[in-house]
């Protein structure tokens, strides 16, 4: 029996589409880089929606500065985004929006680097053991 999508996951997908569109077209903050919404998790009671994002586009700033600045900008604009979202959604309650930087991409790159380094060290040890 296939698992049906829950109401919160469908609502999360709709919130992701609409907020991504609003960030791209409606927000006019020049400090905001290229923001991608990766995942939205909506609470069962629809009280909160946690939006996970990644950001690209640096102007000579470090990645950490860009992340914190983008997070601050998005969380400051959460009220505006929520009010615009309330006009679009057909739900009685519109969740509070909370933005979080999605660190899964960074973690994945770090783990890939560790695996490549371990494989290179193994290959080096195999060459050394073949010489003996």
109 is a domain residue: yes
What does the pLDDT read at residue 3? 57
97 is a domain residue: yes
87 is a domain residue: yes
Q: pLDDT at residue 40 above 50?
A: yes
d(CA 83, CA 89): 10
What does the pLDDT read at residue 109? 80
Tens of pLDDT, residues 47-102: 999 999 998 865 555 788 888 999 999 999 999 999 999 999 988 999 999 999 98
Identify whether residues 58 and 115 lie together within a single domain: no
What does the pLDDT read at residue 39? 94
Question: Is pLDDT larger for residue 60 or for residue 32?
Answer: 32
Identify whether residues 29 and 67 lie together within a single domain: yes
Q: If DSSP codes are grouped into helix, strand and coil, which group holds residue 4?
A: coil
Neighbour order of strands in the sheet with 96-101: 34-42, 48-56, 96-101
Backbone dihedral region for residue 23 (phi beyond 0: left; psi -120 to 50: alpha; all else: beta): alpha
Give the domain range for residue 115. Answer: 103-132
- Give 18's pLDDT tier (boundaries 50, 70, 90): very high
d(CA 19, CA 28): 14
19 is a domain residue: yes
Closest CA to 19 of 87, 75, 90, 84: 84
Identify whether residues 69 and 112 lie together within a single domain: no
1 is a domain residue: no
């Amino acid at each position: 029996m296939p698992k049906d999508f829950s109401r919160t996951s469908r609502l999360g997908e709709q919130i992701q589409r609409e907020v991504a569109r609003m960030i791209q077209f409606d927000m006019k903050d020049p400090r905001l880089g290229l923001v991608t919404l990766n995942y939205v998790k909506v609470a069962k009671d629809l009280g909160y929606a946690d939006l996970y994002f990644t950001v690209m586009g640096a102007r000579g700033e470090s990645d950490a500065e860009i992340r914190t600045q983008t997070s601050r900008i998005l969380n400051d604009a959460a009220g505006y985004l929520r009010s615009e979202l309330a006009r679009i959604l057909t739900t009685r309650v519109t969740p509070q929006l909370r933005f979080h930087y999605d660190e899964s991409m960074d973690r994945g790159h770090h783990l890939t680097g560790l695996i490549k380094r371990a494989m290179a060290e193994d290959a080096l040890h195999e060459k050394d053991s073949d010489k003996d």
